[in-house]
Amino acid sequence: MKKILLLLLFPSITWAQSNISFGGTVGGNLSTIIDTADYEYMPGLNLGAFIIWGPVEHWGFTGGLNYSMEGAKYSYISADYSVDAKTNLSYLRIPLTVTYFLNKFDNPIRPKIFLGPGFGFLLGGKTKSDVTLHGQNTTSEVEAKDYINGFDFGVEGWYRLEFQII
């Protein structure tokens, strides 16, 4: 199973000392499942923490731990039957990226570009399906671990603009 994950909002709080900074993140995402069915995007929440190490002025490395709520919706209607399904998934995501700093360290505004691998570990989830066939409705629930790979790998890239507050 493949997924697309789009980050919409990712504010963070950072503490910095010399060439190391760390902080927390809260954000939103839209996710779907790429498969043979026509799944719809579903909104989710991200919570996490990160650490950035910049051994030289413009380059560094970033690692993080993020809890991510993901999933998708599916609906199908024909003359004989209809299906409504919703998949909710929880992942522990670990991004490990190379970071490019666009300004010097002491600049109060410091844009950053991140690129690298991301590893996801399925924590749990369910799919709930409602099927109506000739007027009779059936509801079922299936655990995600029964049909979704527990490991997810992808390439992560993002842009962040950081402002010095203190």
Q: Domain holding 18: CATH number?
A: 2.40.160.70
pLDDT of residue 39: 86
pLDDT tens per residue, the chain (166 residues)?
444 444 444 455 444 556 888 888 898 989 988 876 788 999 999 999 999 998 888 999 999 999 999 999 999 888 888 999 999 999 999 999 999 999 887 788 889 999 999 999 999 999 999 999 988 999 999 999 988 889 999 999 988 887 777 6
- The beta-strand segments (E) located in the chain are 2-9, 12-17, 20-34, 42-53, 59-77, 81-101, 109-133, 136-143, 151-163
Give 147's DSSP letter. T
**How many structural domains compose the chain?**
1
Q: Which tokens sit at 89?
A: 């998934």
Q: Which pLDDT value is given to residue 46?
A: 93
Measured between alpha carbons, how far is 155 from 37 in angstroms, rounded to an integer?
24
Domain that holds residue 154: 2-163
